Amino acid sequence: MTWTIARKEMASNLTSYKFVIVLLLTVLLTATSFFIMHRDFRQRTADFQITRPKPGEPIALLPPNPMAVFAKGLDDAMTRSFEIGVVGITVRAGQSSGNIIYSFFPSPDFLYVVRVVLSLVALLFGFDQVSRERERGTLQLILGSPISRARVLFGKWLGNFLSLSVPFLLTTLLGIAFLLFDPNVRFSTGQLGRLTLILGLSLLYLSFFLILGILISTLTRRSASSIVVLLFIWTLLVFIIPNLGTLLARQFVSVPSVRALSEKRQQTWTREVLLGTKSRDWASHYKAISDDNDRMEEDYRGKFERLVRLSRDINRVSPAAGFLDAASEIAGTGIGEESRLKREVIRYKNSIIGDIIANRATSNKNEEYPAFRYVPRSLAEIFAQGALFDTAWLVFFNIICFALAYWAFARYDVR
Amino acid sequence: MLRTLIAKDIRNNVLSFRFLVSFLLLFAVITATVLLLAGDYLKKQDEYARRQIEIERYMKSYAHFNRIGNILRPTQPPIPFQSLVRGLTSEVNIEEFDNDPLPVMFPLIDLTFIVAVLMSLIALIFSYDAVCGEKEDGTLKLMLSNGVSRSKIILAKIAGGVITLFWPFVLSLAAGMITILLHPRVAWTSLDWGALGLIIAGSIVYVTVFSLIGVLVSSIHRSSASSIMTSLFVWVLLVLVVPNLSPYLASIIKPAPSRIKIARETHRIQDVERDELGMKMAAEKRRELAVRYPVLAENLSEADKKLRLARDPVYREAYQAAAAEIERVWAEANRIQSEKAEVLEGDLRRREEAQIALSIRISMLSPLASFTYLSTDLSSTGVRNLAHFRALSATWDRAFYQDYRPKKIEALRSQDPSLDVWNTPVDMSDAPRFRYAEEGLKGRIRSTLPSFAVLLASGLILFAAAFVAFIRYDVR
């Protein structure tokens, strides 16, 4: 019986104007996003070929992550060239794009499409599920047959979820197939597994918004008011809470700004070099610079990680933020991965800085250093460090909304 | 009659459920945002003051000319408007190791964002059923049977919608501004208030554009259920898609070479290629010099050379002339290669500028982008301010490196000719310091004229379209 309801939902969706619009949005956006982000990835790969360090150079540089096509996240920051010298780690300038307009608007990757646009689409599927049937009088007819309200609700969810996820999955799979044809984009089997996880997470996320829509439509008598409430909840969850949350976290954790750190560093090294030109004891001055920088870095990393933790905890009120965090961590472009990469770069620097200083002090030009190796976190680590919580949180949101929807629907006056 | 109609529409809107919800939401979001942004601005201000003290402390004991450029760098201080509009001021700073990744993942929310996303959505929510809703209720027929002209009805719809949207926005903003006014350390100047006034004017035009889109869509559709779908579709495209795609599209149509590639190229030209060219030219020159100064043809060891330089004036003269020639040859090689590099860099700059201009043009298909440029430029947090800042930096650069430094060095040398002026701590308390001042309002307004014009023009076109659609609307 549930299946009959689901089929009825799908059939009525298929013929509706709403479905045409939604289908258009999904297909258009997913395809454009794949195309554009793929191009972006190829360009960055070409840049990587140019900057790739020669053997023996003390440079830490990662190739662009193909998963960035789906979740761009912090991949730009992670694929910078970190060069180790006597004064510590410097970033080679010129790796950012010259087009300032990029920094005005977020990049339209797959995650953006799902998180912002498709969540709205899921709401549009759910917003009039109960109120419209009541307005038309068909709800009375359905409930007139011997079927429980729970089954009706579940059938509605299933039918709409399928009519939403089938076109979504189809276009996404087509997009992935398109990527697989490009020899430059090489996914490992592990990454394909991660992609499946991201898709699963996306479905869970979309399902949440669908149920939320059904829930609000059972709480309001008219579909016109249901859509108003839903649109506002949507802006709150998708935009306002995550973006205000980080701002709120900054009020509680004071983190020195990037500028302050860089000024401090400049002061340290110019001071030590000035003193060095007098004493000629370069090794000890280089050491002083490196120690000072290390102290500052240690302090900053600690504070920054506290800020990230706090803002994550605040943002988790919104499933959109949790979804973004979990999916980008799984893709390997999230904040956690970026912090870890930086820690690894610092460790790499610590392992060779002694040699660099010694070679510099004796003007040895033919030094060679071990290459930088970075192994991204395994899925188990990623899940242990928050993604599992985020996923469970999404499941919880789904269940709680479903329970509330059931509770509201059971008490619903169908007249 | 028009007034009655407008009053009816306003009353209708104000008493509706959606008005209550949107007012509450706007009020909460705007006041929370202003409070948080003001707090953040104060933190930034404190930090800036601390940074200045650090610099002063350094300058007292260690200021030396060789590396002064690393210490005295022009920096943008926090400006009071940052308690409302953030624009491009968030510190992502990908050029530093400790860049800040949070704003990349979660862009900060500010007044621009609230108006651009929230207000446009509210405008659509108010107007998506302006015509078809009345048709469904049957009131449109009643109105038209009363001898009211259609143009009056549509005008009243638009005016009523915009006026109802205006008050919740302005009241919420006023509540937020009270926190700014009450705070003694957020010192807004009359310039800032003027800019805010213009931003509010821009917001009204922006919101009107979305109201018009709603009215237009609603007078095309027969039912409000399909009207809301189309409205949201248009909204998603204009607000969430077009602006984000624009720089990528522009980079496809007008590609610019990657900066890394050009940097490598110019480095090669000015390093390896320069050396090759210099060697070649110097060798030729040497052959020429050997003919001109036969005394130099002899192959002498370094010690003999020194000896002869000291004793033989003819040899010394020839040697010095030759050295000067060779130096000139190298300078020439340097010049040729820098010119080549300059051509590449100039080409990169031109292409990047063309790409930026195209991105801006594409993005302005969306009113959101026009409004974003308008509000960031007016509040000195946008592209315009970047250029202004660069100009100020250049002026300071000249004042410091071309006026102050040579004079100071000369003065130091006259006191002690043997002094290593580059690597000795020098008292630079009399040096010109970089002072940031916001650009005058006139320049800022001039830069926002295109955005205003685009918004107004799209408003007019939409109005005409809505008018025509409503005239042809079947009210049955």
CB-CB under 8 Å, A247 with B36: yes
Closest chain B C-alpha to A168 CA, distance in angstroms: 17
Q: Which single residue is written with the structure tokens 């395994």?
A: A378
Please check whether residue B259 is in contact with residue A96, taking contact to mean a CB–CB distance below 8 angstroms: yes
Residue type, B29: V
Q: Which single residue is written with the structure tokens 């926090």?
A: B78
Greater model confidence, B147 or B433: B433
Query: pLDDT tens-digit profile of A222-276?
Result: 888 888 899 999 999 999 999 899 989 999 998 988 888 889 988 998 998 888 8
Q: What mean pLDDT do residues A60-78 have?
A: 91
Residues from chain A that touch B224, judged by Cβ atoms under 8 A, are 224
Residues from chain B that touch A104, judged by Cβ atoms under 8 A, are 88, 243, 363, 369, 372
CB-CB under 8 Å, A236 with B25: yes
With cut-offs at 50, 70 and 90, classify the pLDDT of residue A93.
low
Single out the residue of B123, B126, B142, B169 nearest to residue B9, CA to CA. Answer: B126
Closest chain B C-alpha to A321 CA, distance in angstroms: 8
CB-CB under 8 Å, A236 with B236: no
Whole-number mean pLDDT of chain A?
88
Chain B: residue whose CA lies nearest to A105: B244
Query: pLDDT tens-digit profile of B315-374?
Result: 888 888 888 888 899 899 999 999 999 999 999 999 999 999 999 999 999 999 999 999
CB-CB under 8 Å, A18 with B229: yes
**What is the value of pTM for the model shown?**
0.91
With H, G, I as helix, E, B as strand and everything else as coil, classify residue A82: strand
**Which CA distances in Å does A122 have to A116, A126, A207, B126?**
10, 6, 7, 22
Closest chain B C-alpha to A243 CA, distance in angstroms: 5
Please check whether residue B249 is in contact with residue B239, taking contact to mean a CB–CB distance below 8 angstroms: no
CB-CB under 8 Å, B97 with A91: yes
Find the domain containing A172 and state its range. 2-410
Number of residue pairs across A and B with CB atoms under 8 Å?
A: 254
**Which CA distances in Å does B339 have to B55, B256, B375?**
37, 20, 40
CB-CB under 8 Å, B103 with A246: yes
**Which residue, among A109, A231, A306, would best test binding to B if mutated, counting the most B CBs under 10 Å from its CB?**
A231
Domain boundaries of chain B, sorted by first residue: 2-252+364-471, 259-359
Q: Is residue A65 assigned to a domain?
A: yes
Nearest Cβ partner for A274 among B103, B251, B423: B423
Chain A: residue whose CA lies nearest to B376: A104
CA distance B359 to B373: 12
CA–chain centroid gap for B210, Å, is 25
Greater model confidence, B91 or B320: B320
CA distance B129 to A313: 40
Closest chain A C-alpha to B441 CA, distance in angstroms: 22
Complex ipTM value? 0.91
CB-CB under 8 Å, A321 with B109: no
Task: State how many domains chain A has.
Answer: 1
Query: pLDDT tens-digit profile of A362-399?
Result: 777 777 889 999 989 999 999 988 889 999 999 999 99
Q: Of A92-96, A256-260, A264-268, B145-149, which range is least confident?
A: A92-96
Quick count: other Cβ atoms within 10 Å of Cβ B175? Answer: 14
Half-sphere exposure of A131 (CA within 13 A, CB side): 21
Q: What mean pLDDT do residues A310-323 have?
A: 92
CB-CB under 8 Å, B363 with A258: no
Q: Which two tokens stand for residue A373?
A: 């190796």
Q: Of A22-36, A85-99, B456-470, which range is least confident?
A: A85-99
Cross-strand bridge partners of residue A88: A85
CA distance A13 to A21: 11
Q: What percent of chain A has pLDDT over 90?
A: 43
Residues from chain A that touch B355, judged by Cβ atoms under 8 A, are 98-99
Rg (CA), chain B: 33
Cross-strand bridge partners of residue A408: none
Closest chain A C-alpha to B39 CA, distance in angstroms: 7
Please check whether residue A242 is in contact with residue A321, taking contact to mean a CB–CB distance below 8 angstroms: yes
* Cα dihedral value A22, B364, B457, B376, nearest 10: 120
Residue type, B172: S
Rg (CA), chain A: 26
Q: What mean pLDDT do residues A6-17 have?
A: 86
Closest chain B C-alpha to A23 CA, distance in angstroms: 11
Please check whether residue B83 is in contact with residue B186, taking contact to mean a CB–CB distance below 8 angstroms: yes
With H, G, I as helix, E, B as strand and everything else as coil, classify residue B237: helix
CA distance B417 to B405: 16
CA distance A95 to A80: 7
Q: Which two tokens stand for residue A335?
A: 């904040």
Half-sphere exposure of B388 (CA within 13 A, CB side): 20
With H, G, I as helix, E, B as strand and everything else as coil, classify residue B313: helix
CB-CB under 8 Å, A29 with B356: no
Q: Of A250-259, A354-363, B174-183, B466-475, which range is least confident?
A: A354-363
Closest chain A C-alpha to B36 CA, distance in angstroms: 7
Query: pLDDT tens-digit profile of B404-453?
Result: 999 998 998 888 888 888 888 888 888 899 999 989 899 999 999 999 99
Closest chain A C-alpha to B243 CA, distance in angstroms: 7
Query: pLDDT tens-digit profile of B372-408?
Result: 999 999 999 988 998 999 999 999 999 999 999 999 9
Q: Note the pLDDT of residue A258.
A: 86
CB-CB under 8 Å, A223 with B43: no
Q: Which two tokens stand for residue A140?
A: 């009375």
Closest chain B C-alpha to A271 CA, distance in angstroms: 6
Residues from chain A that touch B29, judged by Cβ atoms under 8 A, are 240
Q: Is residue A415 assigned to a domain?
A: no
CA distance A88 to A349: 7
Residue type, A92: R
Query: pLDDT tens-digit profile of B217-236?
Result: 999 998 888 899 899 999 99
CB-CB under 8 Å, B71 with A267: yes
Quick one: angle between helices B190-218 and B120-127, nearest 10? 30
CB-CB under 8 Å, A107 with B106: no
Residues from chain B that touch A105, judged by Cβ atoms under 8 A, are 243-244, 246-247, 363, 369
CA distance A134 to A151: 17
CB-CB under 8 Å, B95 with A74: no
**Which residue, among A26, A82, A104, would best test binding to B if mutated, counting the most B CBs under 10 Å from its CB?**
A104
Query: pLDDT tens-digit profile of B244-300?
Result: 999 999 999 998 888 888 888 888 898 889 889 999 998 898 888 888 887 777 777
Nearest Cβ partner for A50 among B29, B66, B261: B261
**Which residue, among B42, B73, B241, B265, would best test binding to A if mutated, counting the most A CBs under 10 Å from its CB?**
B241
Single out the residue of A146, A193, A158 nearest to residue A383, CA to CA. Answer: A193
Chain B: residue whose CA lies nearest to A84: B97
Residue B90 pLDDT exceeds 80: no
Chain B: residue whose CA lies nearest to A238: B106
Q: Which two tokens stand for residue A78?
A: 């992670």
Q: Note the pLDDT of residue A94.
A: 59
